[in-house]
């Protein structure tokens, strides 16, 4: 059983889970300050329902994927990698956007959450529902990104889900350390390190997405005998077993195979492949230059604060 496939979802869920835990912790601290701790149950309910909704979305995705694959069994070998490619693109877009957006908005998180809680508390009888909605949206937003990533790798079975559960557990532990036990953690540095890891993980997802589309086009070409029109490099590079990815850049199968340690770890986390083609290499580099560049630029735009460690969110 290949548990290395759990590592990317662990990292993603850990980062997104800590973001959600920060929102939950801020809300609980604000409710305590406002002497409205009676609304804490609405916070916990929002967390529970948010996790349940995220899991339900994941189940629905898997059902839809299996249903589409069984509509015409003859084209299952085309539909499955095609869907993996589509979900990979969605996951790449969502994770990249949220990474950059959240990095820019992180310094305003407490003020935004405080404003939302204050507004909810002014609603009198609907205050509980206001707090519940705030927490629910925060949890589902983070959970949806993880669900998309898992859907993009649905052929790997339940192992990515185990990684997601592990990341969620560690994120909850960090939340308890911060807001219950008062442990100081350099949360800014944590997010910076996790952000760099996430950029590399999503860059690896670019390589995987291109391979999924290549498999789909290749299988379609074989099934329809239309290799010349569908596979751009079929005739021009007959020694390259790729449909649309072009000539091979390297073959390290004898030096660092991607199905054995440590290659399998590098493959799961950073998109390493023992067979890498030119389109994959170009896509990987372009992603790092664009999204990676935007991420590091957003880090440079942060306003330094005297105290970078976080225990409780206080004025």
Using one digit for the tens of pLDDT, what is the confidence trace for 259-309?
A: 788 888 888 778 788 889 889 999 999 999 999 998 888 877 544 444 444
Tell whether omega for the bond before 138 is within 30 degrees of 0, i.e. cis. Answer: no
DSSP for residue 311? S
Cα atoms found within 13 Å of the Cα of residue 46, Cβ hemisphere only: 26
The answer as to whether 313 is a domain residue is: no
CB-based contacts of 100-106 (< 8 A; 24+ apart in sequence): 100/291, 100/294, 100/295, 100/298, 102/19, 103/191, 103/195, 103/295, 103/298, 103/299, 103/302, 104/298, 104/301, 106/188, 106/191, 106/302
- Indicate the burial class of 96 (C-beta count within 10 angstroms; 0-12, 13-18, 19 or more): buried
Model pLDDT for residues 101-124, shown as the tens digit of each residue:
777 776 666 777 888 888 877 776
Identify the residue whose tokens are 């820019």. 104
By residue range, what is the domain housing residue 113?
3-300
Q: Which residues contact 191 (CB under 8 A, 6 or more apart)?
A: 15, 18, 103, 106
The answer as to whether 112 is a domain residue is: yes
The answer as to whether 310 is a domain residue is: no
The answer as to whether 305 is a domain residue is: no
Total domains in the fold of the chain = 1
Measured CA to CA, the distance from residue 24 to residue 6 in angstroms comes to 26
Sign, Cα dihedral of 253, 258, 260, 266: positive
Q: Is residue 49 within 8 Å of 136, Cβ to Cβ? A: yes
Comparing 97 with 301, the larger pLDDT belongs to 97
Crossing angle of helices 127-151/109-121, nearest 10°? 140
The answer as to whether 193 is a domain residue is: yes
Measured CA to CA, the distance from residue 140 to residue 152 in angstroms comes to 18
Q: Is residue 122 within 8 Å of 179, Cβ to Cβ? A: no
The answer as to whether 133 is a domain residue is: yes
The answer as to whether 311 is a domain residue is: no
Angle at 261 between CA 258 and CA 262, to 5 degrees: 80
Helix or strand or coil: residue 249? Answer: strand
Closest-CA residue to 208 (of 77, 61, 83, 85): 85
Q: What is the pLDDT, as a whole number, of residue 77?
A: 72
The answer as to whether 312 is a domain residue is: no
Confidence of residue 130 (pLDDT cuts 50, 70, 90): confident
Q: Does the pLDDT of residue 246 top 90, yes or no?
A: no
Q: What global pTM score does this model have?
A: 0.78
Please, what is the average pLDDT of the chain?
A: 79
Closest-CA residue to 59 (of 133, 138, 150): 150
Percentage of the chain lying above the pLDDT 90 cut:
12
Q: Is residue 39 within 8 Å of 172, Cβ to Cβ? A: no
Q: What is the pLDDT, as a whole number, of residue 289?
A: 94
Average pLDDT over residues 65-93: 79
Comparing 127 with 72, the larger pLDDT belongs to 127
Q: Does the pLDDT of residue 234 top 60, yes or no?
A: no
Model pLDDT for residues 155-213, shown as the tens digit of each residue:
666 777 788 889 889 988 988 888 877 677 777 788 888 888 889 989 989 998 998 88
């Amino acid at each position: 059983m290949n548990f290395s496939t759990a590592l990317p979802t662990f990292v993603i869920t850990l980062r997104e889970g800590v973001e959600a835990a920060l929102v939950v912790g801020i809300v609980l601290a604000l409710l305590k300050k406002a002497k409205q701790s009676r609304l804490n149950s609405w916070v916990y309910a929002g967390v529970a329902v948010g996790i349940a909704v995220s899991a339900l979305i994941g189940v629905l995705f898997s059902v839809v994927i299996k249903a589409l694959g069984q509509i015409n069994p003859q084209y299952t070998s085309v539909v499955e990698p095609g869907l993996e490619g589509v979900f990979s693109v969605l996951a790449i877009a969502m994770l990249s956007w949220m990474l950059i957006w959240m990095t820019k908005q992180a310094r305003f998180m407490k003020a935004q959450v405080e404003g939302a809680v204050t507004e909810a508390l002014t609603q009198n009888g609907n205050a509980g529902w206001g707090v519940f909605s705030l927490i629910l949206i925060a949890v589902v937003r983070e959970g949806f990104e993880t669900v998309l990533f898992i859907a993009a790798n649905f052929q790997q079975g339940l192992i990515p889900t185990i990684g997601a559960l592990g990341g969620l557990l560690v994120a909850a532990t960090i939340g308890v350390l911060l807001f219950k036990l008062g442990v100081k953690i350099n949360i800014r540095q944590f997010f910076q390190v996790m952000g760099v890891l996430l950029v590399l993980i999503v860059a690896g997802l670019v390589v995987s997405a291109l391979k999924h589309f290549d498999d789909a086009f290749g299988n379609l070409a074989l099934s329809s005998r239309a290799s010349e029109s569908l596979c751009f490099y079929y005739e021009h590079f007959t020694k390259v077993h790729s449909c649309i990815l072009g000539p091979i850049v390297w073959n390290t199968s004898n030096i660092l195979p991607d199905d054995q340690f440590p290659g399998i770890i590098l493959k799961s986390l950073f998109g390493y492949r023992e067979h890498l083609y030119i389109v994959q290499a170009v896509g990987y580099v372009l992603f790092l230059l664009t999204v990676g560049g935007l991420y590091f630029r957003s880090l440079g735009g942060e306003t330094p604060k005297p105290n970078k460690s976080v225990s409780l969110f206080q004025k």
